[in-house]
Amino acid sequence: MAGDHLDLPQGTLDLLILRTLSLGSQHGWAISERVQQLSSDALRIQQGSLYPALHRLERRGLIKAKWQTTENNRRAKYYELSKKGRDQLEVEKEAWAKLTAAVAQVLEAM
Amino acid sequence: MFSDLIFRLRALFRRTAVENELDEELRFHFDQQVEKHMRSGLSQQEAIRRTRLEFGGMSQVKENCRESRGTNLLETIGADILFALRQLRRTPAFTITALLTLALGIGANAAIFTLVHAVLQKDLPVANPASLIRLGDANDCCVGSGISDSMSYFSTDAYEQIKNNTPEFEELAAMQAGFAYRPIVVRRENSQDPPRSSSGEFVSGNYFRTFGLQPFAGRLFTDADNQQGAPATAVISYETWQTRFSGDPSVIGSTFRVNTQPVTIIGIAPRNFFGDRLISNPPDYYLPTETMPALANVTYPHDPKENWLYIIGRVRPGTDVAQLQRKVSAILRNELVSSGRLSPDHDKIKLAQTHITLIPGGAGIQAMQEQYGDHLRLLMATAGLVLLIACANIANLLLVRGIARSAEMSVRTALGAMRTRIIRQLLTESVLLALLGGIAGLLVAYAGTHMLLALAFPDATHIPLHATPSLAVIGFASALSLITGVLFGLAPAWNASRTQPADALRSSSRTAASGASLLQKGLVVFQIALSLVLLIAASLFLQSLKKLQGSDMKLNANNRYIVHINPQAAGYSQTQLDALYHTMEDRFHALPGVTKVGIASYTPMEDNNNGWGIQVHAHPENRTISSILRVNGDYFDSVGTHVLMGRGITERDTPTSPRVAVVNQTFVRKMFNPSENPIGQRFGFPGAENNSAWEIVGVVEDTVYQNVRWKDHLMFFIPTMQEPENRKDPIDKDESLYAGAIVLATDHPVDGMESITQHTLASINPDLTVVRFDTFNHQIAANFTEERLISRLTMLFGGLALLLAAVGSYGVTAYSVIRRNQEIGVRMALGADRSTVMLMILRGATIQTALGMLIGIPVALLCVHFVQSQLYEIAGLNAVILISSVLILSVAAAIAAIIPAQRASSINPMDALRME
């Protein structure tokens, strides 16, 4: 299990969840797996923070939840982006791009 | 926003469903993860173990989810309250102490503030009190011809001049200044009810209109009721209508006899209206000023030189009050000139100085406010100090409790409780405690206000004050205790929740083994200092009261009864008085046990005085004002005043015999040289032809009149019916001939003296009623009501402070003993004996007490400075008071320290060490 895991900077978890869900509705476990996979194992989301984040996003109306059956015929709670969530994702993506660009610029200028 | 609300509500109301969903969701994740691990080749057991490790505390994850769902606050408050109640019940000693402290602190304050608010701040129950303005800022009373620089009571003529020339006032009303001193006798015609002495106020026709009042029934005065020659009318107060006539509607329109004259009751005043001023016995009847000469047999309502009216007006919106003040002052000055009271040539300076100050009139004539103001503010400060001490106590209790529970908090943190959750729980406890304390305080306040009113006005038949504690006050006091609770309950909770649970658990109670914190000790020192201040205040006021009561009043009150009468109201003219007095003397002397029957204008130690300007014939430069009483032959003996030189007044001093006077020692001291013999000297009214009206035939000691504080005032006594030989006015203009009191001396206490007196007077004339009956002792005691109230309350507060400080001190010491249990055990195991241990514990308590006193003494010295004016013949802090206060506090502190010290010394070293 040892590896070069990165600590998630503050606020990026929401962005990652929204981004993952923009690919289609998913349940919580799949989201964490997906993030890990997409980041080539560099990012790992702890359950301890994943579920509070999902519930928070649901409360804010950025994602919607519904119970569905998985391929293995188990009931699971699936999350999908709402219209508001889609907009929010665009906003956050842009902000993130600006932030990283700015940070990179500063770092290179040194 | 809306979806947010629905989400929260769903979580709140469908709590079980939501909880189940959360369980299922997390379980699903868990299972997926286990499966994943198994797919990578782990055994099921190993996969579960690993997943569990990854997951961390499942309940913590859930709690975080609940938190982020945002329902937690609403959802857990209920649970928190229940839990807090359980916690409080588990520690009854703490809870009871805290609640008692809060209840007494909050209750005492609410009671005092309620009284203060009612007396000092409340507006009259009238329409729009804010636009009422009073003319004059002093409470000069009651009838007089003097002109002060700032006039506050006026002649009828001045009132009318001002009223007719100030369109700025919508209405300008006038009212009798001294109605409290001039009761009327009222009887309902054609009823069996005997005549009763009642309170009646003469007012202008627009009086009720000025206050914007509507009658409860019938009608109120109009200007037509106040015309000369109009039929006599009266308005009855709602209270009197209810209590005297049990709300009988036929009272309206019926004829009453007021001072034997027929008067028609036209209406009932509004329910809550108690007149234009706060007074312990407000008017029962309102009567038009124009009917006063006929009803009360007085001349001053039509005398332009006699002041007797207060004036309150309602100004039109937007009036410039400063300009109006200049205007009414100018009108008054013109009137003083036109009425001949001041001359524009000779009284230039006086005329320029005379003015009227306008003040807000919404609270009416503030006589009581002026009388009680200082004392009430003092009580307020005292109660405030008690509240501070109570808060310090609560703070201390919560601190101790918080520290004691640090282990509990550590365990909870270790089990996954979030810090915010723990803090919220403790907060709930503090808030709950404050709320419960507030409720208990409300009960104390309610009882306390009733008690205060009864103590403050023991002889009032009806007090227009309501004993309902004001919500604002209760709210303020509760908020203060709440803040204390939150502040001091939170600090240790925060500390506890911040500690690393593992550390805290490992070291158990040893982390805070240093004993009570500096903050706690500081609080105790603060409490001790404040209680010393309060104890000193209590002793000062007690000593002051003792001095007042113990002062030599130069009278004899044993087996004496004071019967106040009003022959004028009973319809007697001056020419009938001589016969009446003789009849009264005869009838009362005939009663068994009665030895002396004194008749006088007024008596010692009552709120009454009459002063005349005088001049001594031999020293025309000695002009002054002296109190004057008309007395009969028995009077001096009846009140116990000793004749020191010459003789007293005797029954041989008839209206036609040589005019004589008896003077008091102060009169002699101030008017004659020490070498002169006052006997045989003559004095009289100022002026060459008047200043030898009376010959001094005797000197009496300085019996106290009015009150003990009024010292060194001149008095002279003349026979009941003698007039100066060159008097020009007809005798029936001389109101001073009417006696105000009969003093009965008996050889033993007589039961039922009041009804005997009533019967005796009624047998002389049914209209002759007892205005007020008192034993002489009670009349004297009534003089000290206010001082006694202050003394009792400061004593009560001092005691309360002492108790609270002792509890606080005990708490801290006892707590430190518990914390140092092991240390003491070790010391004793190493050979320390019990007395050493006791001394060690006592030392801490002694240092606290000594420090508190060191701070308290200078503070007390400072405070004495502020209350000096309210003390009687006590010059600052004296040694007796200081030492006794320090001693009382030391004893209390010693008791509070010895109990825990005793417990410390009886610790069994083995037990203490094993406790770990």
- CA dist B600 → B34, B629, B718, B736 (Å): 110, 7, 10, 10
Q: B645 has which bridge partners?
A: B699
CA distance B452 to chain A (A): 57
- Which residue has better confidence, B212 or B4? B212
Q: Would you call A55 and B24 a contact, using CB atoms and an 8 Å cutoff?
A: no
Within 8 A of B8 by CB-CB distance, chain A residues are 59
Map tokens 């365990």 to a residue.
B411
The rounded distance, in Å, linking the Cα atoms of B424 and B757 is 72
Within 8 A of A76 by CB-CB distance, chain B residues are 25, 28
pTM, two decimals, is 0.71
For chain A, the first-to-last Cα distance in angstroms comes to 35
The reply to whether omega before B142 is within 30° of 0 (cis) is yes
CA nearest neighbour of B906 among B824, B789, B842: B824
Q: Per-residue confidence at B434, pLDDT binned at 50, 70, 90?
A: confident
Q: Per-residue confidence at A1, pLDDT binned at 50, 70, 90?
A: very low
Question: A37, A49, A59, A88: best mutation site toward chain B, by most B Cβ within 10 Å?
Answer: A59
CA distance A14 to chain B (A): 13
**B617 neighbors B691 (Cβ within 8 angstroms):** yes
Q: Please state the separation of Cα B424 from the chain's center in Å.
A: 41
- In chain B, the percentage of residues whose pLDDT exceeds 70 is 92
Q: Per-residue confidence at B903, pLDDT binned at 50, 70, 90?
A: confident
CA distance B7 to chain A (A): 6
Q: Would you call B25 and A28 a contact, using CB atoms and an 8 Å cutoff?
A: yes
- CA dist B761 → B433, B585, B606, B767 (Å): 62, 11, 22, 9
CA nearest neighbour of B156 among B287, B283, B282, B292: B292
Compute the average pLDDT of residues B470-474. Answer: 73
Q: Would you call B28 and A53 a contact, using CB atoms and an 8 Å cutoff?
A: no
Within 8 A of A58 by CB-CB distance, chain B residues are 7
Q: Would you call A47 and B55 a contact, using CB atoms and an 8 Å cutoff?
A: yes
For B495, the enclosing helix (H) or strand (E) is helix B471-498
Q: What pLDDT, on a 0 to 100 scale, did the predictor assign at position B510? A: 45
Q: What pLDDT, on a 0 to 100 scale, did the predictor assign at position B438? A: 82
**With a CB-CB cutoff of 8 Å, which residues 26-65 of chain A face chain B?**
27-29, 33, 46-49, 51-53, 55-56, 58-61
Question: B64, B71, B418: best mutation site toward chain A, by most A Cβ within 10 Å?
Answer: B64
Q: Would you call A48 and B70 a contact, using CB atoms and an 8 Å cutoff?
A: no
Q: What pLDDT, on a 0 to 100 scale, did the predictor assign at position B694? A: 94
> Does A5 lie at the interface with B, CB-CB under 8 angstroms?
no
Q: What pLDDT, on a 0 to 100 scale, did the predictor assign at position B717? A: 97
Q: What pLDDT, on a 0 to 100 scale, did the predictor assign at position B616? A: 93
Lowest mean pLDDT among A34-38, B162-166, B209-213: A34-38
- CA dist B504 → B405, B501, B913 (Å): 11, 5, 19
Compute the average pLDDT of residues B500-529. Answer: 67
Q: What pLDDT, on a 0 to 100 scale, did the predictor assign at position B512? A: 44
For chain B, the first-to-last Cα distance in angstroms comes to 55
Q: What pLDDT, on a 0 to 100 scale, did the predictor assign at position B225? A: 94
Q: Would you call A27 and B8 a contact, using CB atoms and an 8 Å cutoff?
A: no
pLDDT greater than 60 at residue B613: yes
For chains A and B, what is the number of CB pairs under 8 angstroms?
Answer: 65
> Does A11 lie at the interface with B, CB-CB under 8 angstroms?
no
CA nearest neighbour of B537 among B320, B345, B378: B378
Q: Would you call B26 and A47 a contact, using CB atoms and an 8 Å cutoff?
A: yes
Q: What pLDDT, on a 0 to 100 scale, did the predictor assign at position B502? A: 62
Q: Per-residue confidence at B509, pLDDT binned at 50, 70, 90?
A: very low
Q: Would you call B54 and A76 a contact, using CB atoms and an 8 Å cutoff?
A: no
Q: What angle do CA B565, B567, B569 make, to 5 degrees?
A: 100
Compute the average pLDDT of residues B132-140. Answer: 89
Q: What pLDDT, on a 0 to 100 scale, did the predictor assign at position B347? A: 84
pLDDT greater than 90 at residue B94: no
Q: Per-residue confidence at B9, pLDDT binned at 50, 70, 90?
A: low
Q: Would you call A77 and B60 a contact, using CB atoms and an 8 Å cutoff?
A: no
pLDDT digits (tens, 9 = 90+) for A15-51: 888 888 988 888 888 888 888 888 888 887 877 788 8
For A80, which DSSP code?
E
Question: A51, A58, A82: best mutation site toward chain B, by most B Cβ within 10 Å?
Answer: A51
Which residue from B minimizes the CA distance to A31?
B29
Cβ neighbours for B854, distance < 8 A, ≥ 6 positions apart = none
Q: What pLDDT, on a 0 to 100 scale, did the predictor assign at position B714? A: 93
Other residues' Cβ atoms within 10 Å of the Cβ of residue B608:
17
Question: Two tokens at B461?
Answer: 């038949």
Lowest mean pLDDT among B189-193, B254-258, B285-289, B543-547: B189-193
pLDDT greater than 70 at residue B605: yes
Q: What pLDDT, on a 0 to 100 scale, did the predictor assign at position B731? A: 77
Q: What pLDDT, on a 0 to 100 scale, did the predictor assign at position B557? A: 92
Q: What pLDDT, on a 0 to 100 scale, did the predictor assign at position A5? A: 62
**B626 neighbors B800 (Cβ within 8 angstroms):** no
Within 8 A of A75 by CB-CB distance, chain B residues are 24, 28
pLDDT digits (tens, 9 = 90+) for B25-34: 888 888 888 8
CA distance B525 to chain A (A): 48
Q: Would you call A77 and B67 a contact, using CB atoms and an 8 Å cutoff?
A: no
pLDDT digits (tens, 9 = 90+) for B676-719: 999 999 999 988 888 899 999 999 999 999 888 888 889 999 99
pLDDT greater than 80 at residue B477: no
Buried-state track B676-713, b at ≥16 Cβ within 10 A, e below 16: eebeebebbbeeeebbbbbbbbbbbbbbbbbbbeeeeb
Q: Would you call A59 and B70 a contact, using CB atoms and an 8 Å cutoff?
A: yes
pLDDT greater than 50 at residue A3: no
Lowest mean pLDDT among B71-75, B267-271, B880-884: B71-75
pLDDT digits (tens, 9 = 90+) for B235-259: 999 999 999 899 999 999 999 999 8
HSE, CB side, 13 Å, CA atoms: give it for residue B290. 17
Question: A47, A57, A77, A83: best mutation site toward chain B, by most B Cβ within 10 Å?
Answer: A47
- Which residue has better confidence, B509 or B826? B826
Q: What pLDDT, on a 0 to 100 scale, did the predictor assign at position B600? A: 96
Q: What pLDDT, on a 0 to 100 scale, did the predictor assign at position B219? A: 95
When the pLDDT of each residue in chain B is averaged and rounded to a whole number, the result is 86
pLDDT greater than 50 at residue B95: yes
pLDDT greater than 80 at residue B604: yes
Compute the average pLDDT of residues B781-792. Answer: 86
Q: Would you call B24 and A77 a contact, using CB atoms and an 8 Å cutoff?
A: yes
- CA dist B609 → B74, B297, B576, B612 (Å): 69, 20, 24, 10
Q: Would you call B64 and A76 a contact, using CB atoms and an 8 Å cutoff?
A: no
- Which residue has better confidence, B593 or B279? B593
pLDDT digits (tens, 9 = 90+) for B328-379: 999 999 999 999 888 888 888 888 889 999 999 988 888 777 778 888 888 8
- CA dist B656 → B11, B578, B727 (Å): 103, 12, 13
> Does A83 lie at the interface with B, CB-CB under 8 angstroms?
no
The rounded distance, in Å, linking the Cα atoms of B254 and B268 is 12
Q: Would you call A29 and B33 a contact, using CB atoms and an 8 Å cutoff?
A: yes
Q: Per-residue confidence at B592, pLDDT binned at 50, 70, 90?
A: very high
Which residue from A minimizes the CA distance to B5?
A59
- In chain B, the percentage of residues whose pLDDT exceeds 90 is 37
pLDDT greater than 70 at residue B270: yes
Residues of B engaging A, defined by a Cβ cutoff of 8 Å: 3-4, 7-8, 21-22, 24-26, 28-29, 31-33, 36, 54-56, 60-61, 64-65, 67-70
Helix axis angle for B15-39 and A47-59, nearest 10°, is 140
Q: Would you call B28 and A27 a contact, using CB atoms and an 8 Å cutoff?
A: yes
pLDDT digits (tens, 9 = 90+) for B623-662: 888 999 999 999 999 999 999 999 999 999 999 999 999 9
Within 8 A of B24 by CB-CB distance, chain A residues are 75, 77
Burial label for B165, CB within 10 Å (0-12, 13-18, 19+), is: middle
Q: Per-residue confidence at B232, pLDDT binned at 50, 70, 90?
A: very high
